[in-house]
Amino acid sequence: MLNGTPRRVAIIGAKRIPFARSHTAYADLDNQTMLTDTLRGLVDTFSLDGEQLGEVAGGAVQKHARDWNLVRESVLGCGLDPHTPAYDIQQACGTSLEATILVANKIALGQIDSGIACGTDTTSDIPMGANDDMRHALLALNNARTTGDKLKAAAGLLNPRHLVPDMPTGAEPRTGMTMGQHAQVTAKQFGITREAQDELALASHKNLARAYDEGFFDDLVMPYQGLKRDNNLRPDTTLERMAKLKPAFDRDHGTITAANSTPFTDGASAVLLASEEWAEKRGLPVLAYITAGQAAAVDYVDGKEGLLMGGAYAIPRMLARHGLALQDFDFYEIHEAFAAVVLCTLAALEAEGFCRDKLGLSHALGSIDRSRLNVNGSSIATGHPFAATGGRIVGTLAKLLDQKGSGRGLISVCAAGGQAVTAILEK
């Protein structure tokens, strides 16, 4: 599949809308609208109107049946040349980071010269299905041919029990537990304290607020629907306020609360990638390069491996593949699904037993410089529209490296189903 020699893949830029807590600023919007508008923002910023790109890849986690061709429809409405191919993927919270890797691989292999990776999600417009009895009754009515059959089928629609919708639960199908419940179990296994989680959450808010005040996000976040900043940001929060909240998933002994977790969120993000030649031809500067990607999955069903601990497996594999140590990075972007997940992942990589028994290594990977972790805030402060988070992180890290002028950054995004997606960016 390689056409010529492998090429470096440049991150040209990124755009996202401010993320909004569920049922607030974007309560009346859907995935199609948010993604189309975000892509339009990227098109306008980089003068791509009428441009035919190699492809656009992305998706959403929470999708209605009408969104079966979500990304293609958004491409048709965003100003790109309609001859630009597009397709949907879904890897839970890792969706837009995985899309970034997929597009980057095609550029590196010479199959395309440019592309966009994107993601969107809304929990304000979450899909709800008809229950099985109602669905069967509706299908029977649709298939009825005679008046008698139609009346018989219609009678089935009058049963009040059939009107109860099939509500999404957010629980893992194989365990019946939510992500938060799984994260609480893992936090207990690793001995992560509530105080440590609250401190990480506070840093997320403080770092994000500082970055906004310094203008870091001026070219990454487009004003939208009256918002200029993520409306989950709490710059004035304190550890004392956080300490007053009750545990969310274990009322008696839990350490995870609403303050050290991500809220349900609406939003969208997009990243423009290209070969160096494509960028140079258009006079576009390069923020950074994506140089590695790795996915991993764990068997969380028996509780021996944490649902959201895939990063502790993917990171070491990626480092070994590229001859790097955990300390060889200027920035670390670890998705804050819960503060506990970040802290558990770091604790696992520091533990001799975990690295020996789970990873087959002779030694622990060691600790990182925490001052380099999520330096401009992360998901606890920004919020977490599932499929959009990876694109947010790629854009943030690429700009951090561009501002520094050199260096290397690591990304890790945990995902439902016991998965994780990781990547390395360099300047």
Is 384 considered catalytic here? Answer: yes
d(Cα 14, Cα 273) in Å, to the nearest integer? 9
d(Cα 280, Cα 276) in Å, to the nearest integer? 6
Is 414 considered catalytic here? Answer: yes
Q: Which of 78, 344, 355, 414 is catalytic?
A: 414
Q: Which of 182, 205, 335, 384 is catalytic?
A: 384
Residue given tokens 């139609």 in the structure block: 150
Q: Which of 93, 118, 344, 355 is catalytic?
A: 93
Is 355 considered catalytic here? Answer: no
CA distances to 23, 33, 170, 382, 408 from 376, rounded to whole Å, are 26, 27, 29, 10, 16
Element (H, E) at 97: helix 95-108
**Contact residues for 86 (Cβ-Cβ < 8 A; gap 6+):** 55, 56, 57, 71, 72, 74, 75
d(Cα 129, Cα 211) in Å, to the nearest integer? 41
Please name which of 131, 125, 4 lies closest in space to residue 60, comparing C-alpha atoms: 125
Buried b (16+ CB within 10 A) or exposed e, 116-141: bbbbbbbbbbeeeeeeeebeebbebb
Neighbour tally for 290: CB within 10 Å: 28
CA distances to 102, 274, 278, 373, 424 from 284, rounded to whole Å, are 22, 10, 9, 29, 22
Q: Which two tokens stand for residue 110?
A: 């010479």
Q: Which two tokens stand for residue 405?
A: 């002028």
d(Cα 221, Cα 37) in Å, to the nearest integer? 12
Give me the numbers of helices (H) and strands (E) for the chain, helices first please.
14, 10
**Contact residues for 409 (Cβ-Cβ < 8 A; gap 6+):** 288, 329, 330, 331, 332, 333, 397, 400, 401, 424, 425, 426
Enzyme catalytic residues = 93, 384, 414
